[in-house]
Amino acid sequence: MERKRVIKIGLLAITSILALILGSNYLKGIYLFDKDKVYMAVYDKIDGLVVASPVLINGFRVGQVRDISFLQGASGRILVKLAIEDQYQLPKGTSAFIYSTDIMGTKGVKLLMSSNTEYHSPKDTLLTGIEGDLKDQVSMQMLPLKNKAESLMLQVDSVLAVVRYIFDENTRANLASSFASIKNTIANLESTTYTFDTLVTTEKRKLASIISNVESITANLKNNNEPLTKAIKNFSDISDSLAKSDLKNTITNANAALVSFNDLMTKATKGDGTISQLLNNDTLYTNIENATYNLNRLLRDMRENPKRYVHFSAFDFGRTIYIEDSDSKKAKKYIEEEEDKKTDK
């Protein structure tokens, strides 16, 4: 009986030791009887990644971190062994990213699969990367805001400095005077508003009449819309006709004609030609006047004394009349004066 008891105790102890070893390895992510494929990943830092951290594909757990150690050669780089379940194959080009699985910063490995049709063999080294955690992402997003806030504070500080510089004693006195002026202006505006309101109240009937007249004018314009449209169209046609006519050349020709006429008049008034002499010298006028006067006297003498010019033997036309009047005396005197002037010359 004692022998059986000893055997039972020994078996129980051995079983307990094996269970302890297996449980300890399980907690460490080491399975004695598993068929997982182990892949290598090398990182410059692991940011809190530990053994037994999950390995996921699209959020689904396909393995865990088997081991973490430094590479040989004192390079400071870290070798991470990833145990992937046997049924999953990793295409070449797959990347293993360390990322935060929750807001507490727990780390895991996220596999980003490539579209390559060739697959990695166990113990191949995967491409690696580190995805920033929530704190890093928040810091990266807040950094521009931080920079803008600092720039804004600098600008606010500059503005405050300018404000302190501007609002000195003289400026405050000027502002007080300005506010007093504004107060007076508002008082004047209130007075003006009251006056305008009084005017509107007293002249309400006239304003109503004016508005009625304006409405009447508007109604007349509306009623005569078609005639006004025709008049505007006619004016537009006239404007188009004037625009199409050669008005510019006509004005140019008229200006040229006026210039020529002006030159002609200048030559006529200031030149030495016949027209100039006719306009400026009264001798021709005097001679014509004298000739007309003498011709008139001749015709009168022929009418009064025809026998001087026509002789008939059978008839006697009467006495001979000599015509001499005040005009003839004046003419004789003028002619004698002209002859004396010519003689003196």
d(CA 63, CA 36): 8
What's the pLDDT tens digit per position in 105-155? 788 999 999 999 899 999 899 999 887 655 666 666 777 887 888 888 888
Q: How does DSSP classify residue 19? A: H
pLDDT at 71: 86
Last residue of some domain: 132, 152, 179? 132
pLDDT at 80: 92
Same domain, 21 and 78: no
Q: Give the model's confidence band at 55: pLDDT under 50 very low, under 70 low, under 90 confident, else very high.
A: very high
69 occurs within a structural domain: yes
Between strands 107-112 and 54-57, the pairing is: parallel
Query: Which residue would you say has higher pLDDT here, 329 or 64?
Result: 64
Same domain, 109 and 50: yes
Instruction: Name the residue among 91, 124, 92, 126 with its Cα closest to residue 109.
Output: 126
Average confidence (pLDDT) over 218-232: 83
148 occurs within a structural domain: no
Pair of tokens at residue 339: 């002859």
Query: Which residue would you say has higher pLDDT here, 319 or 93?
Result: 93
Average confidence (pLDDT) over 213-232: 84
Least-confidence region, from 80-94, 96-110, 235-249: 235-249
Between strands 54-57 and 60-70, the pairing is: antiparallel
Instruction: Write the DSSP assignment of 35-81 as a string of letters.
Output: --EEEEEEES--TT--TT-EEEETTEEEEEEEEEEEPTTS---EEEE
d(CA 96, CA 45): 13
Task: Say yes or no to pLDDT of 93 above 60.
Answer: yes
Identify whether the C-beta of residue 25 lies closer than 8 Å to the C-beta of residue 31.
yes
Same domain, 25 and 50: no
Domains held by the chain: number: 3
112 occurs within a structural domain: yes
Regarding pTM above 0.75, the answer is: no
Q: Give percent of the chain above pLDDT 70.
A: 74
72 occurs within a structural domain: yes
Task: Say yes or no to pLDDT of 285 above 80.
Answer: no
207 occurs within a structural domain: no
pLDDT at 315: 47
Average confidence (pLDDT) over 307-313: 61
Domain enclosing residue 302, as ranges = 282-344
Average confidence (pLDDT) over 56-78: 87
Same domain, 127 and 41: yes
Q: How far is CA 299 from CA 153, 283, 286, 296, 315, in A?
A: 122, 24, 20, 5, 21
Cβ contacts of 328 within 8 Å, gap of 6 or more: 297
331 occurs within a structural domain: yes
How would you classify residue 65: left for phi > 0, otherwise alpha for psi between -120 and 50, otherwise beta?
beta
Same domain, 11 and 59: no
Task: Say yes or no to pLDDT of 90 above 80.
Answer: yes
What's the pLDDT tens digit per position in 159-200? 887 777 766 677 777 777 888 889 889 988 888 888 888 877
Same domain, 15 and 66: no
Q: Give percent of the chain above pLDDT 90.
A: 14
